[in-house]
Amino acid sequence: MFRSILDTFMQKDSNIKSEQFLEQQVPDRELLACNFHDSLDLNPIFKHVQQQIPNDDTDENVNKRARLEKVALEVRERQMTALADSGKVVRDGTEPARSGMERPILSFFGPYTVASKAGGESHTPRLCLSLNAGPKEDHYRQFKLEVIDYEPSLREVQARLYVSCPLSASDSQRADLDLVGSREADTTFWIGLFAFPMIDNTHLSHAERCAVSVTMMTPDALQIALSYFPGSRASLKDKPYYDELMHDLLRIENIPKSEKE
């Protein structure tokens, strides 16, 4: 099934009209997403089909775009539900860029937000998320997520993600934490509706991952989710690094015999 669907995507019969070709491409993407979303990076395939759909407001083309985005939404929600079982998935609400604003503003992250010194929440909040890394071992990290740019025509946002190294529970709640001295990752990237967290994520130490997902984008609203999860829940193609294997082996070796039993 995978071979037949991918061959259809890679090859185009010159006798097929562009409208017929698009009609064939959309259901093929649905089949790929439903069956191979955890082992294949579908982002470039979805984006290619999206770019082939004429950017007009005819019912036919609007329906094609909506159908593609609906499939992506269903797959993304399925993945985030699975990741939340063993990790954390935090959603926010943002306001779209308006006249006089350079970028969308993150509005809230709920109870995971680290309070500022004044007791409120900043427009670029820091988050404290924890992950159970093994028996009697919890990892706390501080995250900071910014939306730098917003491109409505491409339906993508540019984000900057900061992640600290594992911290103590008390340090992870500090609003004045040294972001440079405690930094493990600080990366900038573009992300859209067709990026899936199991595939498109950032590697962290101790076989952990984090991912940013755009869960909704309309002229009136933009919603983003941050996922923090163990590497064992990442995609089937995501192979562990050598240091991750060593960390897991050492952790298992240090578990008391009574707990192993």
Read off the pLDDT of residues 85-95 as tens digits, 9 standing for 90 and up.
889 999 876 65
Mean pLDDT, rounded, for 188-203: 90
Inside any domain, residue 124: yes
114 and 150 share one domain: yes
Q: Is there a contact between 156 and 192 (Cβ–Cβ < 8 Å)?
A: yes
Instruction: Label residue 260 by pLDDT band (50, 70, 90).
Output: very low
- At residue 154, the pLDDT reads 79
31 and 97 share one domain: no
Instruction: Label residue 101 by pLDDT band (50, 70, 90).
Output: very low
Amino acid identity, residue 17?
K
- At residue 84, the pLDDT reads 92
234 and 175 share one domain: yes
pLDDT over 60 at 3, yes or no: yes
What percent of the chain is predicted at pLDDT more than 70? 64
Tokens found for residue 63: 């329906």
Instruction: Return the higher-pLDDT residue of 164 and 5.
Output: 164
253 and 129 share one domain: yes
Residue 190 domain boundaries: 86-260
Give the residue among 211, 106, 119, 95 at the shortest CA–CA distance from 163.
211
Minimum mean pLDDT range among 18-22, 53-57, 73-77, 162-166: 18-22
42 and 108 share one domain: no
Inside any domain, residue 100: yes
67 and 99 share one domain: no
DSSP 91-156: EEEEEPP-TT-SS-EEEE-GGGEEPPTTSS--SS-EEEEEEEEETTEEEEEEEEEEEEEEETTTTE
14 and 94 share one domain: no
140 and 249 share one domain: yes
- At residue 251, the pLDDT reads 57
* The domain boundary residue, chosen from 75, 108, 129: 75
178 and 238 share one domain: yes
Q: Is there a contact between 196 and 75 (Cβ–Cβ < 8 Å)?
A: yes
Instruction: Label residue 62 by pLDDT band (50, 70, 90).
Output: confident
CA distance 200 to 241: 16
Q: What is the pTM of this model?
A: 0.75
- At residue 141, the pLDDT reads 95
Q: Is there a contact between 72 and 33 (Cβ–Cβ < 8 Å)?
A: yes
CA distance 68 to 218: 15
109 and 46 share one domain: no
What pLDDT, in 10s, does the model give residues 134-155?
667 789 999 998 888 888 777 8
E-only strand ranges, the chain: 88-95, 105-108, 113-114, 126-134, 137-151, 156-164, 183-192, 202-204, 208-217, 222-230
Number of domains the chain contains: 2
68 and 161 share one domain: no
106 and 163 share one domain: yes
End-to-end CA distance of the chain: 43
- At residue 111, the pLDDT reads 80
Give the residue among 112, 86, 105 at the shortest CA–CA distance from 157.
105
